[in-house]
Amino acid sequence: VKFMNNTLPQNSKILFLGGEQRGYYCKRNYSIAHPFAPSFFTELLNTSPGHYKPYGVLKQQGYTHLFLNLPEVNRLQGGPASTLNENGKKNSTRLIKEFTKTIYAKGDIFVFELK
């Protein structure tokens, strides 16, 4: 979060992925999903026929960055906010590879910029 506060433009909008809840100290516009409630983005990845639709929805809703904390995703695995089916995993991987740029990576924590 410190990286995002110090580096990202003031008009950034960040989607915290996989049920990550610790946005309290984030000084940019952000969205989180409750770890025990369905996440719109997880559902979109799981049900979309390809990765173009989830990307389009993110852009349409004004998101500029994605925040991914893999240890938190793994801890919450099995909950509705973090559980991707095979289709969702494929869409997620393709979306990250094709439509984002990694701007922060430390251990298993990432910030991706949407293209």
Per-residue pLDDT reduced to its tens digit, 13-71: 999 987 788 888 999 999 998 778 778 899 999 999 999 999 999 999 999 999 999 88
Query: DSSP of the chain, one letter per residue?
Result: -HHHHHHS-TT-EEEEPTT----TT--SEEE---TTS--HHHHHHHH-SSSHHHHHHHHHTT--EEEEEHHHHHHHBTBTTT---HHHHHHHHHHHHHHEEEEEEETTEEEEEE-
**pTM, whole model, 2 decimals?**
0.92
Per-residue pLDDT reduced to its tens digit, 67-101: 999 888 878 777 766 788 999 999 999 999 999 99
